[in-house]
Structures are given as structure tokens and as C-alpha cells.
Amino acid sequence: MKKIRIYDLKFDKSYENKFISGSKQILKEGFLANHTYVRKLEKKLQELFNVKHCLLSTSGTSALELIFRSLKIKNKKVLVGNNTFIATATAIMNAGGIPIPVDIENEYYSLCPIELEKKIKKYKKKIGAVVMIHIGGLISPKIYRIRNICKKNKISLIEDAAQSFGSTLNKKFSGTFGLAGAFSFQTTKPFTTGEGGCLITNSTKLYNDAKSLRQFGFEYKNNIQHNNLGNNFKVSEFVALAGLCELDRIKKRIKKRQTLAAQYQKRLFNSPWKTLKPAKNSVSTYYKQIVISPINRNFLIKKFKEKNIAMTGGVYYLPLSKQKIIKKFLDKKDKFKVSNFFCDKHFCPPCYPELSVKDVNYICDFLLKIKNY
């Protein structure tokens, strides 16, 4: 059996030809950053998500940071689901905020509305924002309740949609439920440009503030004057060109991810391996197919390696509450029972477009033969 790699990104001739042709045009124009192709991709994504504004950035993390800086969260608490990558907290801290982990719910493993209300009651007017993370590409239907909680308490809801490009709930895209959403275009994501990201919003004020902060905090109507502390998060024309090429094949690649995930769900149905699925009226683009394991994950990783299967990274094996840089912000009374369970028990088998259904069957055959639960 061939080795099943952690990821195996490929580009067909159509993509190569478009990228080469576009690269020649970029060189001809002589503007290598923040020019024609950046504007084209921002416009295309704006239309795709049916929002007023889209702003490209150097990464999903910097897109989040631009949102938080625009919200002026300095010295304020930002309530964030405990199950997320450190980048979410990094963006908050880089904007001067204080990340406060909140435990997750036990169905879609996203932000728990009950725990959120407890934190809001505790911190009251010291809160700068609430962040909901769409883990693995799944949108929890509890986002409606969370949105209502935020609206009632006049707190901005931000979506860390890094993993959920194209996922929908009731035909509404991730990233469009709150004030703003941020996506990552990192190599393994459903939509990739290698690195890069964007924010989307219907708020013209947030967009204008973020656009200014993306370029050193220039004054919007006078770009030689700088009144705010910004950064250089502008994007290369070549990154934007890669995004335009990726848009041409995104539907096909997402469909393949969904086919592979459906095969995992079919083969592992009624087994000890619990596969996570989207909610009713929801569509996931499956950045990851998440599986809850009945056995020790380290043992499983070892067995995968013996079978030439590379286990992909989890989402996530270490919650924010166990990150050393976050511990100083914790309340000693917090137990984080659900996030600790999820981070200990889940794993993500390979589920990317270059895999075949045969590869998935090989992985499932192996899992179903394991008996020492």
C-alpha cells in the first residue's frame, strides 16, 4: 500500500497556465503588491459571500488582528471558545486584548452559550468581543443563540472561520453571522494560496478602519498622515493571483472533500469511531473529518504510522486553557470539562482532495480491525 501523506497538494495544467499567464501580466504592470489582482480577488470573495466588504491580509491571524484592532479591544476581555489554535488568542493579544477561554458544547464542540452567559455575567462591561470558532468546517446551530446573547448584551460577535471557507448553515455562509469573519488561506485549508487570509464584513466603518490598519494606520482620507498604530499586512499580487486560480477549482475540490467525508461516515457508522457531521440544513466543506476515538490517541498514531498513514493535525489537541501563555488569564474555578474531553479524544484522519475513496476505505478497514478499545 502506498504511503498516505499528511497532505498532498497538486495543481493541474489549467491552474498552472492561468498562474503563469497572470504572473506575466503582474510583471508587465510592475506592481507586485496590493494592486490589480488583490482588488479582483477581494471583489470576487465579496460577491461569493454576498457581503459589502472583503479585505485581503497576510494570514487568517492578521485578518483577526485587524478586526480586533478596529474594535479597539485594548485592555478588554475577549471571550473565545477554548478549543482553538493559539493564533486566535495571538490576534487578540496583539491587538491589546485579554483572551478569556470559554468551554465548548458537546455536539459540535464550538462555543457553549450557557458558559458564555456565565462569563458575560462575570465580566459585564469589561468585554470587547466574543469569538466563535467553526472547528473543522462545522457551523454549530447554537450560533443563533450566541448571536442573540451578544446582541442583548451589546457585544460584537466575531467569527474565526479559518477552517470553514464555504461552509453554510441555512444557506448562510460562515463568517456572515456576526459583525465580521476571518478566513485562513494556509496550505491545508479548503481554499488555499499557501499563506494569506481575509476578513469579510457588512460594516463600512470596520472595513475602513481595518484597511487603514493594514497599511500602517494611515488616515483614510489622507494616506500620508498616520494617526493609529497599524502594521504592514498588505498582500502580494502573486498570492491574490493564486487565489483567483483557486476559485476556479474550489467547487470541485470541496465536493471531493465532502465525498471522502461521506465515505468515512458510511464506513464507520455504528462503530466505536464517532464521526462528526454537519447539523441539519448545514453544509460543511470539511477542512477536517473529525472522529472521536474510543482508544488512546498516541497508540492510534503509532498504529497509523505502522500502516503508512500520516495522521493529520487535530483541531486541537491542546486547548487554550493549557497553553502556558494563556494560563495567567484563567479563573481557577474553570474546569473546561468538554474541551478537555474533546482535545483528549478526537483525531482527524486524512481528508483532502488528492486522496481517493480507496485510500479512505484502507484507513477505515484498519480502524475497524482494532479491537482493544
Q: Write the pLDDT tens digit of every residue in 93-103.
A: 999 999 999 99
pLDDT band at 8 (very low <50, low <70, confident <90, very high): very high
pLDDT band at 229 (very low <50, low <70, confident <90, very high): confident
Hey, is 72 helix, strand or coil? coil
- Cα–Cα distance measured from residue 184 to residue 164, given in angstroms and rounded to the nearest whole number: 9
20 has pLDDT over 90 = yes
Query: Which of 9, 11, 42, 8 minimizes the C-alpha distance to 243?
Result: 42
What is the structure's pLDDT at 225? 80
What is the structure's pLDDT at 373? 57
What is the structure's pLDDT at 234? 97
Higher pLDDT, 71 or 217: 71
Domains of the chain, CATH where assigned: 13-247 (3.40.640.10), 250-369 (3.90.1150.10)
Hey, is 100 helix, strand or coil? strand
371 has pLDDT over 80 = no
Cell 497556465 identifies what position?
A: 17
156 has pLDDT over 70 = yes
Using an 8 Å Cβ cutoff, are 274 and 135 in contact? no
pLDDT band at 218 (very low <50, low <70, confident <90, very high): confident
Burial readout 103-138 (b: 16 or more C-beta within 10 A, e: otherwise): bbbeebbbbbbebbbebbeeeeeebbbbbbbbbbbb
pTM over 0.85: yes
Hey, is 181 helix, strand or coil? strand
pLDDT tens sequence across 318-360: 999 999 999 999 988 899 999 999 999 999 999 999 999 999 9
- Cα–Cα distance measured from residue 302 to residue 307, given in angstroms and rounded to the nearest whole number: 9
